[in-house]
Structure formats: C-alpha cells, structure tokens
Structure 1
Amino acid sequence: MTDTIFATDKKLYQLLKTGVNRARKEQRSLLVSLDRQLPAFDPLAYFAVGRQLFEKTLLWGRPTSDFCLVGLGASRTVAAEGRERFSVVKKAWSEILEGAIIDNSACLNGTGPLLMGGFNFTPQQQLSAIWANYPDAMLVLPRFLLTMSQGEYWLTTNIMVGPKSKVDELIKKVEQEWNMIERKATQRSWRKTFSTEIKLQEGEVESWKATVEQLTQDIKDERLEKVVLARQVDVKAEQSFSTTCILDRLRNKYPTCYIFAVGQGDECFLGATPEQLVKFEGDQLQTSCLAGSTARGSSKREDQLLGNQLLNSEKNQHEHLIVLRSIRNSLQKVCLEINISEKPKLLKLDNVQHLHTPITGRLKPDFSLFDLVKELHPTPAIGGLPKNIALELIRKREGIDRGWYSAPVGWINATGDGEFVVAIRSALVKDDNAYLYAGCGIVADSEPEDEYQETCLKLQPILSALKGELNEFTANNE
C-alpha cells in the first residue's frame, strides 16, 4: 500500500468521470464503487482507526471461516422506523444500486458495495434513552470496506457522486482520507493490556423471578407454548472500555461465533453470537435452529454427561421442537424447498452447549434476503410462540427496552447475497458504561431460579470480555 494508490489510479478516474457525467445527465446522485487487492492486514487495526476517525465503524466476521468485514465511514446510511422497516431498507438498497457504476474485480463474497448494520428487536416506543442512537433499522454503505476472505485481502471504495461533483476533488479527498487511515493503522498500537474492575447493577432479581412465575401462569391461561423473557444488567467500569480490545478477546475466545460491532459515535453495539439467523447465496439459504442449553462440564466425563442430559431433556427437546416448527412454517412462505436434519446435535461453545439443528432451502423467485429476515425474525428462540401473543406479553411483562439485543445484525451485497445473525451474547458500550442483556425461554413448567441461573451463564462471555479476564458471574454476585 502506498500514498498514491488513488491519485495514480486511472481506472478510478475514468469510473468517476463516467459517474459524474451520468449524474449530470440524470440530475441525481449515484454510486461509484471500485475494489483493489491489498497486502495482509489485521481487521481490528483498521476498526480501531475507524473508531477514531468516523462517526460510523462496523465489523463482522467469523474467525474459523477466515472471513471478516470492516466498514469505515458511511457513503450512505439507510435508516427506517416502524413495522415496515425491512421493506423500506430493501427498497432503498435497490435505489442506491440503480445505475451504480461498479468495478468488482475480486468477485469474492464480501467485496464490492454492500450494506452493513442491523435492526432493533421490535418497533415500539422506546422505554429508555439507552438506544436513542440506534433506530429501528440502520444499514451503512461504508466509505471504505476492508474484506478478508479466502486468504485474500481487499479494499472497496464507495463514492457517491452528484451533478456538481468534480473528479479531481473527489480523488483528492478519498486519497487524503485513506492516507490518514493507513498512517494510523500502521502506527497505532491498540493491542495493549486492558483490564478493569467492573460493578454490576442487576436490577430487581427477585422481581424478575416473580415475572417468570407470572409468565408460567400466562402461558397456561393463554395456552401459549413459550415466551422468552430477557433481563438487563448495567455495568460500570473504573475506566473507559476499549471496544477493539473487547472484540479481540471475543474473537480469540469464541472463534466459531459471529463477531460483530456497530459503532455509532462514541457508542458501540458488539458481541459474539453463536446463532445464525440466515445466510443467503444465489437462491440457496442456510439457517439453523438453536434452542435448549446447558453448561459445559469441568471434565470430559462431566461435559459428556451434561450433553447427554440435554439431548434427553424433555423440556429442552420440547423447546427446540417449538422453535424448529416455527422456522419451518416461516420458511414455507418464501421457499420452494426446505431440508431439515432429523435430530438435533450438540453445539459446544466455551461455556455453554446448545441443541442445534441445521436447515437449508431454496428461495422462491422475487424474494430476497430482507424477506427472509422479515419472516424469520423474531424466532421463538428469542421471542416466543405464537409470535404475536408472545411479543405482546414481552412488551407487557419484560419492562426493558431490548434495543438491538436479540435482533438481526449482518450484511447484504449488490447481488442480494449476505448473512444475518441474532445479536445475543452482546452489549451496548459507551465510555465506562455497558448494558448487557440475556434471556431464556419460559414454558409452563419453568422454574424461576433455574431460568435466572441460565441468564447468568449466558452473560459470562461478554462480561469476561468487558473485564479483560475471567469473571465468574453467578447468583453469588447479587
């Protein structure tokens, strides 16, 4: 990489010239996008720089799949409010791509123009100011997109041009921006040791347990199958959190999980989730059912015993079947075919193991990834069943604003391929404050103490990453 990769780029000059001429003719703004191959880089080095220089910085990756995206800045931000947020974003992305001038020589998924971002759990009047800067939908077309995929490293530059744009000025500006990014990425050492004492404010634990008890009665009265109840834990640190260090610990500790971050100003929503909502490529989709969980054992024998108990647990198998049936019913609306494994298997993570069933399918013509996300969210694993009644009970009983917790976060490219996950095992971080959420599926025979302990187990990964060392979070922290 050199200081002249843009200034001497004849292809970029010609693309921009063509774009400006078209913008003048059509009297509108349009997208010019060009990618180029780069030497190997650490995505987090650029994420750290992005947090310094830009209002919006985003990251998405899965370490074991050798895939990572880093979005620096925003050439265009698509935001939407209300129940039609999926449709609004779908239309806006189509309009951005209309007439766009794209040179995507990499031909790799994750290169070229794409949107990164996500949605909130459910459109509703906000109960707190915590999520004020995260609307019902927010997806970003990055100014600079860095992609690591299949052992290759690429930079995609997305530039919006208008009728009055001047090519030389556009190139000069993008050159200056990239030079600053490069200097800081090579000079800044963000891999510093970071640990801090944290204080937990769990809220009214006994009140939450009482809500579990109330929900079990609601489920019996309403003849529901399941409602997911979440709770919020506030964390206060002795110093400001380093979001880059938190992400570094998460990717090293949970390499099979999806590592994500959506930085908005001095706030950042981040996490390491094991739960894929849906992946789409061509006309093929991939999703999974992840419901039912237990702890990992302290020995191989104990771990196997706990796993076998989970596989044979009537309660957990029932919960898993509820989620699986709901996913199948949702997919039938948009799929030509659906393939589901016969029996769930164990998905073992560092501190928890889940029942897991892979699902594949083929999408009907004229449907998109946004349609899949709309149909699948929220799954019973984070909402309940029947969906609408469960969501109404969540609004009535939960008493918190979930924001983007347990909502779809991901990316979509110009051809419609992409992937979204369910943003659990996550936190919203701002300065020395962090807001964490964990939930569990409540059924008719749920025990409040057991459900509380399950939320404690689910909070451990992100709490450990926030603190910088292992932080055993159990009922003893009350």
Structure 2
Amino acid sequence: MDFKNPLANELKECFSQQISDLELSEAIKCISSQPEGKYQYLSFSIQIPTVDALAVLEQSGDTSNFQYYWEKPSDKFAIAAAGSVERIQTTGKERFRESSDQGKELLSKVLHISNIDHHLAYVHLLGGFSFFDHNVGKEWRSFGAGSFNLPEWVLVRDSKFTALTVTKKIAFHDDPQDICNSFLATLDRLDSICDAGSYQVESKRSFESKVEVPGIDSEDYNQWVNSVESATELIKAAEFKKIVLARELRVKLHTPVSDTKILNHLRHQYPDCYSFLIRQDGKSSFIGSTPERLASFQEREVLTEGLAGSISRGKTASEDAVLEHELLHSKKDLSEHAFVLDAIEENLQRYSDIFEHPVSPGIKKLSNVQHLYTPVHARIKEGVSRTEVLSRLHPTPAVGGYPRNLAMPYINKLEHFDRGWYAAPVGWINANGEGEFVVAIRSGLIKNNEVRFFAGCGIVEDSNPQKEWDETNLKFIPMLTALKHARK
C-alpha cells in the first residue's frame, strides 16, 4: 500500500516497523481489537524535515479550535500544535494535583507508536493554569482555572531534530479503515502546512489602531497611586512584606490583528524569552513573551530561577553599565529579589535532595529592560510529582507577594482587573516525564476587537507610585511595539 503524500508513507513505515510488517489498515485493526477500555487513543510519532513551528501553526488556518505555540529561539526549541482530542479541566485548590492525576490517567490510555528513539517523540499535554484557584471572569471563561489539551497533532523542534506526533481517539470495534482514513486526512493537511514551498503569503496592509499609554493625568494613574499607597500602608502595618500589583492596558482595534504576526515580532526581538500562544476556541487567544521560567523538568532534576528587580537599558554602553551597577546596588530591588529566593527555598528545599544557587544575583539583559537574576537547581525527592513542585512555586513573590498567604488576598482588593491567566504557569509536559513551565508575564489577551495587555511590579515599604507607574509602562513596551508591527 503506497500513499500520495510523504507523511502518509512515513506513517506506513512507522507502523510496519513496529507491528510485524503489517499493512497500515491491518495494524490499526489489530490495535482496535484490544480489550475494551485498554486503549482509547492511538498515537504515532515520525521525524520530519526541520520546519518553522510558528509558520506551520499560521498556515494551519483553523482558529476555531485549540491551538498552541511555544518557542525559545536562543535554545532552538519550539512547539506547535492544534486540534483537541481530549481536554483536562480542573478548578479549586486541588487543581494542580487533579490535573496531574487526570493527565496520568489520560496518558495511560494512549497507545503510542514510533519508529524513532528520541525523548521528544512522545505524546504531549499542553496548557496551564489561571493565577487564582478559580477563574470565572467572562473574558477568561474558555480558559478555566486549569486546562491541558491532548492535541490532534503536535510538532516539536529541538535544534535540527523535528518530531511530528499525531493522535486520534478510537473506540472499541471502530472500523479500521475509518481510523486509517482519519489519519490520512490529517496527514494530507499537515503535508502541505509543513512544506514552505506551498505556503500562501498574505500581502501586508497597515494596522490602523493608535496605541497610547495613559498619562499621569488619567484616571488609571489616580487608581494606581491609591493602590500603591494602600499597599505601602499595609506593609508598614506588618500585614505582609511585599505585594505585586499589576495594571491592565486595553487597546481597541479598528481591524482584526493576527496573534501569530505579533508573536513573530516578539520572538525575533526577544530570543532569550519564551514566546507562547494558547487558543482554547475561536474567540480569544492568550499570547506573550516572558523572560521568567517557573520550572523545567527532566527526570528528578528541576531548574527554576529568581527574577525580580528591574531597571531600563542604557542608550550607550556606559549608560547601560551605570544602570546595571545601580540595579546591583539598589536596596529596594535587592530586597525584592531576596524575597523571591527565600520563597523558592522555603517551597522547594523540603521536597529536594539537592537545592543550590549562586550567593549573589547576576543580571539578565533584555532589549528594553534588565533584571536581577539568580538560577536555582534542585533534585526533587523520589515520589514528588512535578505538578506538586509547580503548586509550591506558584505564585512566586515576583508576581504574588511575600509572605504569599498574607499578600495574596489583597491582590484582588487593590487591583482593578481580572488577572485570568496573566502571571500564571503555562507550559507543557510529555509522556516521557519532561516538561517546562513559565510565568505568563509580558502577555496579553486578544479577544474580538480588543487587546488587553498586562504589566506589574513589586511593591515594598519604600515604593514610589510614580516610579512603579514608569516601570509598568516600560514593561508594556514589548507587547505594544509588537502590536504596532502586526499586519492583517
């Protein structure tokens, strides 16, 4: 049996190498006749030529269903995925644990076949969590408080290696030829969107919306000053030591805007950041380019980081060096950074056999801002789940406050918008036990004819409302600039 497209022939080869050289339809017949309930999903992975993950997603076209994108260009790592075969949804205080339990149960029902031996040629679960335990705001309703999708297809590129995994739901006694045809239909579509030679490129036209940041004479500024002053008074009264307050900036759109075009600008401007897109349905997409990794997992090894305290970049080398020196000696920023490291240590050390980090922070430089930065390495104890680690780390003092349990209740009282998934953990995990999650800052929600961007900063006892306002404006720049460069 030979097929017209290359990916379909790869599928045939994949099955034939794994199942006694059976023809494709015979292989599927063999699988679908397994005891009822043993396997509910059939998945296969093949290696394909290197492609641009964002371009593949852009060419896939169907924005009415689940879509996912993840890329850190400096690591030469990217993921693109679309279609939802199954979706896990959780809410409440136990949402991390329940997501883990449901994820393990789901993966146990997937029969995965591959003709390649590579740690990324596996089934992936893609998604994340909201900032708070419950997420009921109308703008974020489709995202829920915890959501992970098993995609119909996922493409993972790691340097020069690219794996494509396709998954289908199967039922006991399904007709093997129908299953075969379903795989082939997906492969026909993927064959063209993975081939740059067949791409249709749209002509550019100007983006019409005018983007402005509110000034100090605005109502937004007055609300901000009141919030910061209230927070500093609470700190002086010993209610907590630090709280992170954020702002929402709404931009009305006169014409639709492409989320993939915004991301294309972000990934080129910020190659050391994690650019991401999560679309749950056709109504909204959550995008961003964050510098902050929450945790990456490989077996029992966990990498996380403290990222708190920031200052602008200089226009000259000398000015940049002066600003870096100022940040490294800023009592306010060093104090804010110390809260983050203390919290990470408190939340991870008792779960870890090894916990280590440099004594003093260094600097992470982005194109428009520089941050105090301390990498942290831990080796978690046997039996500790990855989602348990996530639940202990989120939210860090860099996006929540310190102590966490004392500061968190005040965020909703002092802010004037619904955080949704802003500053929450988003990422991926695969059936091989590997995964990575970031803190979804430098982000925005695109919905209908409006974009909502978010930016926050840490408030401590000596915080100045004007300076904190300026810092949030600085953090809005990446997303606003990317929006200006977007074309539809």
TM-score (norm 2): 0.91
Alignment match, 1:290:
307
Contact 1:241 1:431 (C-alpha < 8 Å) held by counterparts: no
Alignment match, 1:21:
33
2:462 is the alignment partner of 1:467:
no
How far apart, in 2, do the equivalents of 1:224 and 1:450 lie? 21
Alignment match, 1:68:
78
How far apart, in 2, do the equivalents of 1:170 and 1:352 lie? 51
2:60 is the alignment partner of 1:44:
no
How far apart, in 2, do the equivalents of 1:68 and 1:229 lie? 31
Alignment match, 1:9:
12
Q: Displacement of 1:201 after TM fit?
A: 7.6
Alignment match, 1:350:
367
Alignment match, 2:385:
368
2:183 is the alignment partner of 1:174:
yes
- Residues 282/184 of structure 1: CA separation in 2 closer, same or farther (3 Å cut): closer
Contact 2:327 2:333 (C-alpha < 8 Å) held by counterparts: yes
Contact 1:196 1:468 (C-alpha < 8 Å) held by counterparts: no
Alignment match, 1:163:
172
| Partner SS for 2:68 | strand
- Residues 193/179 of structure 1: CA separation in 2 closer, same or farther (3 Å cut): farther
How far apart, in 1, do the equivalents of 2:251 and 2:372 lie? 30
| Partner SS for 1:222 | coil
How far apart, in 2, do the equivalents of 1:184 and 1:33 lie? 20
| Partner SS for 1:52 | coil
Contact 1:438 1:455 (C-alpha < 8 Å) held by counterparts: yes
How far apart, in 2, do the equivalents of 1:135 and 1:80 lie? 7
Alignment match, 1:377:
394
Match of 1:402 among 386, 396, 419: 419
How far apart, in 1, do the equivalents of 2:209 and 2:472 lie? 21
Contact 1:199 1:237 (C-alpha < 8 Å) held by counterparts: no
Which ranges of structure 2 fall in alignment gaps of 5 or more residues?
16-23
Determine what percentage of the aligned residue pairs are the same residue: 33
Alignment match, 1:265:
281
| Partner SS for 1:116 | strand
Alignment match, 2:142:
133
The Cα offsets for residues 138-185 of structure 1, whole Å up to 9 and x where unpaired, read as 111111111111311221111222213222111211211332343356
How far apart, in 2, do the equivalents of 1:361 and 1:123 lie? 26
Letter in 1 for 2:456: G
- Residues 303/71 of structure 1: CA separation in 2 closer, same or farther (3 Å cut): same
The Cα offsets for residues 250-298 of structure 1, whole Å up to 9 and x where unpaired, read as 1100001001110122311011000000011021111110000000001
Alignment match, 1:96:
106
How far apart, in 2, do the equivalents of 1:162 and 1:194 lie? 49
The Cα offsets for residues 370-390 of structure 1, whole Å up to 9 and x where unpaired, read as 111111000000000111111
Q: Displacement of 1:54 after TM fit?
A: 5.1
Alignment match, 1:335:
352
Q: Displacement of 1:332 after TM fit?
A: 1.6
The Cα offsets for residues 432-453 of structure 1, whole Å up to 9 and x where unpaired, read as 3101111110011111001111
Alignment match, 1:300:
317
The Cα offsets for residues 69-125 of structure 1, whole Å up to 9 and x where unpaired, read as 101111111111112111111011111122532224444343310111111001236
- Residues 124/157 of structure 1: CA separation in 2 closer, same or farther (3 Å cut): closer
The Cα offsets for residues 230-252 of structure 1, whole Å up to 9 and x where unpaired, read as 11110112211111111110110
The Cα offsets for residues 43-68 of structure 1, whole Å up to 9 and x where unpaired, read as 12211133526500101110011110
How far apart, in 2, do the equivalents of 1:187 and 1:371 lie? 43
Alignment match, 1:152:
161
How far apart, in 1, do the equivalents of 2:289 and 2:95 lie? 25
Task: Report which stretch shifted further, 202-211 or 129-138.
Answer: 202-211
Supply the RMSD in Å over aligned alpha carbons.
2.0
- Residues 106/463 of structure 1: CA separation in 2 closer, same or farther (3 Å cut): farther
How far apart, in 1, do the equivalents of 2:206 and 2:191 lie? 24
How far apart, in 2, do the equivalents of 1:181 and 1:283 lie? 35
Match of 2:90 among 68, 74, 80: 80
Letter in 2 for 1:317: L
How far apart, in 1, do the equivalents of 2:94 and 2:87 lie? 17
- Residues 4/340 of structure 1: CA separation in 2 closer, same or farther (3 Å cut): closer
1:147-296 to 2 correspondence within 5 Å?
147-183=156-192, 186-189=198-201, 192=204, 195-200=207-212, 204-266=220-282, 267-296=284-313
Alignment match, 2:20:
none
Contact 1:19 1:31 (C-alpha < 8 Å) held by counterparts: no
Match of 1:118 among 115, 123, 128: 128
| Partner SS for 1:90 | helix
Letter in 2 for 1:80: T
Letter in 2 for 1:33: S
Alignment match, 2:21:
none
Q: Displacement of 1:205 after TM fit?
A: 1.8
How far apart, in 2, do the equivalents of 1:452 and 1:280 lie? 35
| Partner SS for 1:26 | coil
The Cα offsets for residues 2-33 of structure 1, whole Å up to 9 and x where unpaired, read as 626337615443653343122xx233652222
Q: Displacement of 1:36 after TM fit?
A: 0.8
- Residues 135/178 of structure 1: CA separation in 2 closer, same or farther (3 Å cut): same
How far apart, in 1, do the equivalents of 2:158 and 2:115 lie? 14
Contact 1:69 1:147 (C-alpha < 8 Å) held by counterparts: yes
Alignment match, 2:444:
427
1:435-446 to 2 correspondence within 5 Å?
435-446=452-463
| Partner SS for 2:138 | coil
Contact 2:128 2:425 (C-alpha < 8 Å) held by counterparts: yes
Letter in 2 for 1:156: T
Aligned residue-pair number: 466
Q: Displacement of 1:223 after TM fit?
A: 4.0
| Partner SS for 2:225 | helix
Contact 1:408 1:420 (C-alpha < 8 Å) held by counterparts: yes
How far apart, in 2, do the equivalents of 1:156 and 1:54 lie? 21
| Partner SS for 1:61 | strand
- Residues 54/15 of structure 1: CA separation in 2 closer, same or farther (3 Å cut): farther
TM-score (norm 1): 0.93
Q: Displacement of 1:416 after TM fit?
A: 1.7
How far apart, in 1, do the equivalents of 2:359 and 2:320 lie? 24
